[in-house]
Amino acid sequence: MTIAQTLAKPIRALGGTWDTQRAVTALRDAGHGHGDQRQQEKRARRALRDLAAANVITKTALDSATYRLAIPATDEP
């Protein structure tokens, strides 16, 4: 399982907004807390960007690294 897949689980379960610090905490709780704080933050930001690229989450503002769960597209008008 990738770091992004690991992070996707709590994001889907908890919802709300997600920033680097919240992602670091979730990844640390899932056993991915190795390395210093800077390494953990880099890992979390990469996972957030990967999830955004996969349309799992979306940025809440263009100038911040804050995300929320993406609203799935529906076939209904």
Confidence of residue 1 (pLDDT cuts 50, 70, 90): confident
Per-residue pLDDT for 64 more than 80?
Answer: yes
Proportion of the chain in helix, strand, coil states, percent, rounded to 5: 50, 10, 40
Question: Would you state the pLDDT for residue 76?
Answer: 53
Residue in 56, 72, 64 with CA at minimum distance from that of residue 21: 64
**pLDDT in the model for residue 37:** 96
- Mean pLDDT score of the chain, rounded to an integer? 92
Give the CA count within 13 Å in the CB-facing half-sphere of 14. Answer: 12
Q: What DSSP designation does 63 have?
A: T
Residue 57 pairs in a beta bridge with 69
Distance CA 62, CA 59 (A): 7
Q: What is the pLDDT of residues 4-20, one digit of tens each?
A: 999 999 999 999 999 99
pLDDT value for 71: 81
